[in-house]
Structure 1
Amino acid sequence: MKRVLGLAAVVGVGAILSGCSGGLNMFGSRDELVATPTTCVPQRFEVYFAEGEARLTPAAREAIGMTAAQLQGCTIQSVQVLGLADASGGSRANLTLSERRAVAVAEALQSAGWPAPAFDVTAVGDEGAVTPDGTQEPMRRRTEVLVQAIAPN
């Protein structure tokens, strides 16, 4: 199942993070330039959930907040959110659960004021959630987020 969520206007975008303005004039020396990490680059992170849950944990909110803060001031070109589930329960229920997980993460990013035109929200349920020996894969209880970010013009 695929759904695209539109974003409202950017909320509270503050100071530009070091490395996001794209110009060399903000650095005093070559050493500063080399030492300053570039934050306006594609980012990938995962948000994990408890079994059967789509509610964000404190650790999940922290990961979302840290990434949102790191990319503040960057141009966000796209945000892909993929919801996954383990193989416990029915296939249809797992698809719904993985969609709820993806939507929860997209809404949290939207609430953080991400300046993106739209989120690409996809859910795959429990597809591929069992290992070849038949064991359930608990690490599938997650949402994968891929953010395409560049320095502003």
Structure 2
Amino acid sequence: MTIRRKTLGFAALGLAVGLAGCSTMTGGRDRVVKAAPRCSDQTVQIYFEQFSAEVTKEGRAVLAAAAAQSKPCKVTSVEVLGLADNVGGTPDSNLDLSKKRAQAVTAALASVGLPAGEFKVSAVGETGSTTADGRSRPLRRRADIVVHLSAPS
């Protein structure tokens, strides 16, 4: 029990010294907090349920985070690519589904407040969804989003 009290005493002393050290910093934290935003391109992926073009709750959260990170920057363009797997449907229906996914993501980006920029929306359907030996590629029920950012003018 005595050893434990001494350990806690040293921990409290270390905390007090550490906090006291923070109060003597002159402008260090302000420089970090007020640093210029890093406006590099962002790439995110949104996944969909099978045969669905509805953006999920998790997908909306990812898009909201991307929009929030983009706020201090200038959005120069946004690329949205819809994809589909080949697990069901025809090539034409999968292409249509991937188009709907890209459109749903574009609408969701606007609803979470992504600053306006040029949107490039495309879809590839099930193209590329199989490996060379004919197996289905996993994780093709998605949209790929690239937000191109630049420093604010």
Q: In 1, Cα distance between the equivalents of 2:86 and 2:108? A: 26
Q: Partner residue of 1:75?
A: 74
Stretches of structure 1 lacking an aligned partner (at least 5 in a row)? 1-27
TM-score, normalising length: structure 2: 0.74
Note if contact 1:39-1:70 (Cα within 8 Å) is conserved in structure 2. no
Which residue of the partner structure matches residue 150 of structure 1? 150
String of CA shifts for 1:60-113, please: whole Å, max 9, x gaps.
Answer: 011001111111131000000000000122100000000000000000111122
SS in 2 for 1:79: strand
Instruction: Report the AA paired with residue 94 of structure 1.
Output: N
> Could you say which structure has the higher helix fraction?
2
Partner of 1:92: 92
Partner AA of 2:105 in structure 1 = V
Root-mean-square deviation (Å): 2.2
Q: Highest relative contact order (Cα 8 Å, sep 6+), 1 or 2?
A: 1
1:139 aligns with 2:133: no
* Aligned counterparts of 1:104 and 1:90: Cα–Cα separation in 2: 21
User: Quick check: 2:37–2:72 contact (8 Å CA) kept in 1?
Assistant: no
Q: What's the % identity of the aligned pairs? A: 43
Question: Cα offset for 1:47?
Answer: 0.3
Aligned length: 126
Q: Which moved more, 1:32-41 or 1:109-118?
A: 32-41
8 Å CA contact 1:85–1:141 kept in 2: the answer is: yes
Of the structure 1 ranges 104-113 and 93-102, higher mean CA displacement relative to structure 2 is found in 104-113
TM-score by length of 1: 0.74
Deviation by residue 1:13-54 (Cα, 9 ceiling, x = unmatched): xxxxxxxxxxxxxxx449944996844211001000111110
**Aligned partners of 1:51, 1:114: CA distance in 2, in Å?**
27
Larger Rg: 2
